[in-house]
Chain A
Amino acid sequence: MTLKTTLLASAIALAPVAALAADLTIGFSQIGSESGWRAAETTVTKQEAEKRGIDLKFADAQQKQENQIKAIRSFIAQGVDAILVAPVVATGWDEVLEEAADAEIPVVLLDRTVDADESLYLTAVTSDLVHEGKVAGEWLANEMAGEDCRIVELQGTTGSSPAIDRKAGFEQGIAGHDNLEIVRSQTGDFTRAQGKVVMESFLKAEGGENICALYAHNDDMAVGAIQAIKEAGLKPGEDIKIVAIDAVPDAHKAIAAGEMNATIELTPNMAGPALDALEAYLANGTEPAKWIQTESKLFTSADDNMAIFNMKKDLGY
């Protein structure tokens, strides 16, 4: 143990590049597994770390910021080489990020950003949430081609950045189309259960036949809403068009079954680009861009959804 440490220390002293060859230890504070996508992100992150021979310390915060802050503090205390964080909310991170900066541990944000000074983290790997919403909005505008459409919206967790940005993006996407109107918008907390409950209330409050489309901030809420629409005796995908974001396997399955119309992919592989950037930074101090954007691909019934479903289903979604 001491011998190894001495060797490591001398290796670091003699050749900084050689130190990289030694095992990296990286802490990963995950939000939880509130949706299937989140579980897939965890799986893919673990796979990516294993592929690179990185020792990944994983902490599940069960949707609580205080747990994430505790996890980050414990990573700092353990002296990890870098920290990956998928922040549960946007605010309240300054203090703990400063502690990491003081310990000279680079922090990479995964999939969501925070309201903190840019200097406090190395880079953020996210999809452009606004862009995703915009793709969804533009798809619906094209699909309706000028026909009047009353839209209901299932928002994500109130105050979370995907909820704010996907809402804003969708509104940009349908801007200038006076035939499209969002008539109801309520949070479904990104969960199937709440998606179903809130859709039930939409169907009653507006009358199912008066709703032409549903925009859900994630697929899980859409899957819950599909059940509510079926129970109300309507045909999801036909009577009510459904567009959501994430492209989880169940969404591909629903599109293949004609119960859903479109989904925009949020790739679960955020860790790949993040670890690439970290390795480059730790090896020779290459500063990555402050923001690394992932692709937002649109899937509709035109794609072979069953094939994609079979490919994705073992990722842990």
Chain B
Amino acid sequence: MSTPSAGPRPSVFKRILPQLVILAVALALNVVVFPDFFHIDFRNGRLFGNLIDVLNRGAPVALLCIGMTLVIATKGIDLSVGAVMAIAGAVAASMVVEGHGWGTALLAAMAAGGLCGLWNGFLVAVLRIQPIVATLVLMVAGRGIAQLVTEGKILTFDNAGLIHLGAGTVAGVPTPILIWIALGALVTFVVRRTALGMLIEAIGINERSSRLAGINSRVLLVCVYLVSGLCAALAGVIVAADIKGADANNAGLWLELDAILAVVIGGNSLLGGRFSIVASLIGALIIQSVNSVILLSGLPPEFNLVIKALLILGILVIQSPRIGNYVYMLRASDIQPQPDRPKPIDHQEKEAAR
């Protein structure tokens, strides 16, 4: 979040620099536990390698964090995205099982996700219920709804079109990667090339004054929850398509927390205001890189959560304002042997020497 006067390009780069550094460190850790990490080859008509896995497996969280970033920028939070994923997956699966085409199934799943988003938006923007409570309703009830749709089973399907969305490839690249990159680019473009992004930030910083300034905060709030619901629905369809079945109990389980974490690692404040979708997406990749370290390390699974916790803790500590400040001071005193204050003395000495 640098000064706007620096122009868009340098400021965006400066904004995401810490995330890029952390991502590089996380990827380097992967290389430490598995030297061939960056090796990619072309096998069975698709790109095959660990880096591809990180991009592919990161897709659900990446999709979720696009919507989550916007919601958090308005000082809100959406806890329901994991459950919405389960609902969308269940709807898509039940549609193709009933004999509809994959396009219809995708539309129905997106409609279900959109409806969930509108419901959250209605509770938050119209009824003025606090976002964490409002979205908790659907987080708890959503899995039940999904189970009603699948009748408590893992609903399997073999519709080639739908499976292609999760497990297929386009020109050798797994489809989920293309989907999240495309959606991320589209949403970033829409909010940054119009005033929308700034309006969303204004709501997050001070909703009342933004409303007094003429921003229709109610409609915008409903819209960000709608986008979050749609992103979650897309993620849900991908997850279901990946395993050729809708698993109402496990699809998207706890992913809302990963999505929030991705947004936080992306340097966005939970208190709303300035946001960067690109940084959140890098945050999602960081989380997936950490998961990858755990899988490749070959350590017993009892260590999984401990390792993840330690790495995430490390990342958050590095990002904390106090440490950031300390690093800044350290750098200021290191790079210039004579920092600001001694400078005049320097001159005086020089003058004295003359």
Contact = CB atoms under 8 A, between A and B. Distances in A.
B243 A205 contact: no
A204 B49 contact: yes
Nearest to A205: B296
A204 B143 contact: no
Nearest to A198: B295
B245 interface: yes
A192 B245 contact: yes
Contacts of A192: 154, 243, 245, 247
B43 A233 contact: yes
Contact of B143 (A42, A62, A233): A62
A193 B239 contact: yes
B304 interface: yes
A157 to B, nearest CB: 9
Given A34-B249, A187-B301, A196-B242, A231 B44 contact: yes
Contact of B152 (A33, A187, A198, A204): A33
Contacts of A197: 57, 295
A79 interface: no
Contacts of A196: 242-243
Interface string A193-211: 1001110110011000000
Nearest to B33: A205
A205 B298 contact: yes
Given A184-B298, A186-B295, A220-B154, A205 B249 contact: no
A267 B152 CA distance: 19
B247 A155 contact: no
Nearest to A192: B243
Nearest to A187: B301
B34 A205 contact: yes
Contact of B53 (A34, A39, A42, A201): A201
Q: Which of B57, B239, B247, B292 has the most CB of A within 10 A?
A: B247
B248 interface: yes
B309 to A, nearest CB: 14
B301 A227 contact: no
Nearest to B294: A186
B337 interface: no
Interface in A217-257: 220, 224, 227, 230-233, 250
A220 B156 CA distance: 12
A36 B154 contact: yes
Contact of B301 (A62, A158, A230, A316): A158
B247 A193 contact: yes
Contact of B295 (A33, A201, A220, A224): A201
Given A158-B301, A204-B49, A233-B44, A36 B292 contact: no
B302 A158 contact: yes
Nearest to A38: B249
A172 interface: no
B244 interface: yes
A200 B192 CA distance: 37
A63 interface: yes
B251 interface: yes
A317 interface: yes
B93 to A, nearest CB: 13
A193 B242 contact: yes
A159 B296 CA distance: 21
B208 interface: no
A204 B53 contact: yes
A42 B151 CA distance: 12
B44 A317 contact: no
Contacts of A32: 249
Q: Which of B46, B292, B295 has the most CB of A within 10 A?
A: B295
Contacts of B250: 34, 189, 191, 193
A294 interface: no
Interface string A113-145: 000000000000000000000000000000000
A35 interface: yes
A17 B249 CA distance: 42
B300 interface: yes
B90 to A, nearest CB: 12
A317 B245 CA distance: 13
A205 B243 CA distance: 21
B153 A316 contact: yes
Interface string A12-42: 0000000000000000000011111001001
Given A186-B301, A193-B242, A200-B53, A33 B292 contact: no
Contacts of A184: 298
Interface string B233-248: 0000001001111011
A185 B34 contact: no
25 contacts: A33-B153, A34-B250, A39-B152, A39-B153, A60-B152, A158-B302, A184-B298, A187-B301, A189-B250, A191-B250, A196-B242, A197-B57, A197-B295, A200-B53, A200-B57, A201-B53, A201-B295, A204-B34, A204-B53, A224-B243, A227-B243, A230-B44, A231-B167, A232-B44, A316-B152
Interface of B: 34, 36, 43-44, 46, 48-50, 53, 57, 143, 147, 152-154, 156, 167, 239, 242-245, 247-251, 253, 292, 295-296, 298, 300-302, 304
Interface of A: 32-36, 39, 42, 60, 62-63, 155, 158-159, 184-187, 189, 191-193, 196-198, 200-201, 204-205, 220, 224, 227, 230-233, 250, 316-317
Given A187-B301, A205-B295, 9 more contacts: A33-B249, A39-B152, A42-B152, A197-B57, A204-B36, A204-B48, A205-B296, A231-B46, A232-B43
8 tightest A-B CB contacts, nearest first: A233-B44, A187-B301, A201-B295, A192-B243, A191-B250, A158-B301, A233-B43, A39-B153
